[in-house]
Amino acid sequence: MRKGYDDPSAFFMNDSMHDFDCIGEYNRNDVLKEKEGIAVRKYIIKRILISIALLFLVAFIIYVLMRSLPTSYIETIAREKSMQPGSKSYEEWMAQLSASYGMDKGIVAGYISWLGNAFRGNFGDSWFYTVPVLQRFREVVPVSFVMGLIAFVLELLIAIPLGIIAATKQYSRTDYTISIVALAGISLPTFFFASLLKLVFSVKLGWFDLFGLVGRNYEQLSTMGKLLDKAHHLVLPIVTLVVISIGGLMRYTRTNMLEVMNADYIRTARAKGLDENKVIYHHAFRNTLIPLVTMIGGSLPGLFSGALITETLYAINGIGYTSYNAMVSGDIPFSMFYLVFMALLTLAGNLISDILYAVVDPRVRIA
């Protein structure tokens, strides 16, 4: 007979050793989790510091470009004032206006002065809109945010499921149809598709207005009526944003799903007799999320940056349309703020993508 059963002390000794092994295993897991948490925190801090340094560099480059423009709002105003009867010369007006707007300093000194004001939340007054930059920004960004948020949600709800369906039915009629729609969305220029929508639904059918955010009788409407009127005017711009953006995400999802579905562990799951829906949506799609996170995370800042071309074509008074008018008129304070704001959003999107990638893929944390 075995000694483990003949000697009672040996039995209890083996049981105690087993308990010690379990405790040691739990301690090792706790240590690994703690190290993993420290690694993630270090990774996030490192990415934030790099993003801050890049933001300062990009802001300086934008400031240099703004100061190097061949013409600006100051020159336009100085030229108009110098043409008035009995007025001062163009050079005198330029010197006076440049001193008033702080443009008489050197590039480095001017950038440091702008940066100091920016830290205090003072981005100056818009030359074109004649109001503080932040005040104008707060007035127009809600429209762009609502429009971008709705378009972004619809893009995810449409593009990802269609990409999965196209991958699961590869080389079928469904796959070809979805691929044609995706390629059309990628290929269509925004201005062409928006003009086509306005021709059909505004000119021919008369269902929507050609331009603007509100109708002629907006002031006579109730609160709910005003809300519905604005929603009605946002239909075509949102459709434009969704159609031109779903193609890329749809193709990206399809490509990644096909790559994952050809992996060995998917074939193993099928060989074990798992339900096909569980194989696709539980195993394959979860691993497809890893590359999708990068693309989706980079799209989040677009909710605040506005759609310059779409807003301009439909005359929607959002941040994109406002910044376009400011740039065309040479409004340096507002253009500077908008471009730095875009740079901040881009860096934030990359940071969000990196963090989400580290969350869904443990290999990134280890690296």
Whether 250 is covered by a domain: the verdict is yes
Reported as half-sphere exposure (CB side, CA atoms, 13 A), residue 72 has a value of 19
Whether 205 is covered by a domain: the verdict is yes
pLDDT per position as a tens digit, 12-60: 445 555 554 555 555 666 666 666 667 777 877 888 888 889 999 999 9
Residue range 187-216: average pLDDT? 86
Whether 50 is covered by a domain: the verdict is no
Instruction: Give the count of domains, the chain.
Output: 1
CATH code (residue 205): 1.10.3720.10
Averaged pLDDT score across all residues of the chain: 79
Residue with tokens 């990409």: 163
Torsion 66-72-127-338 (CA) sign? negative
Closest among 128, 123, 129, 131 to 102, alpha carbons compared: 123
For residue 165 the two structure tokens come to: 């369906």
For residue 292 the two structure tokens come to: 């999708």
Whether 209 is covered by a domain: the verdict is yes
For residue 155 the two structure tokens come to: 């893009």
Residue range 127-152: average pLDDT? 87
Q: Is 121 helix (H, G, I), strand (E, B) or coil?
A: coil
Rounded Cα–Cα distance for residues 78 and 100 (Å): 12
Given a cut of 70, whether residue 72 has pLDDT beyond it is: no
Are the C-beta atoms of 213 and 143 separated by less than 8 Å? yes
Residue with tokens 């799609």: 285
pLDDT per position as a tens digit, 312-359: 888 888 888 888 888 887 788 888 898 888 888 888 888 877 777 766
Rounded Cα–Cα distance for residues 27 and 240 (Å): 56
Whether 70 is covered by a domain: the verdict is no
Given a cut of 80, whether residue 264 has pLDDT beyond it is: yes
Lowest mean pLDDT among 48-52, 87-91, 99-103: 99-103
Whether 74 is covered by a domain: the verdict is no
Whether 260 is covered by a domain: the verdict is yes
Whether 284 is covered by a domain: the verdict is yes
Domain that holds residue 305: 136-328
Given a cut of 50, whether residue 66 has pLDDT beyond it is: yes
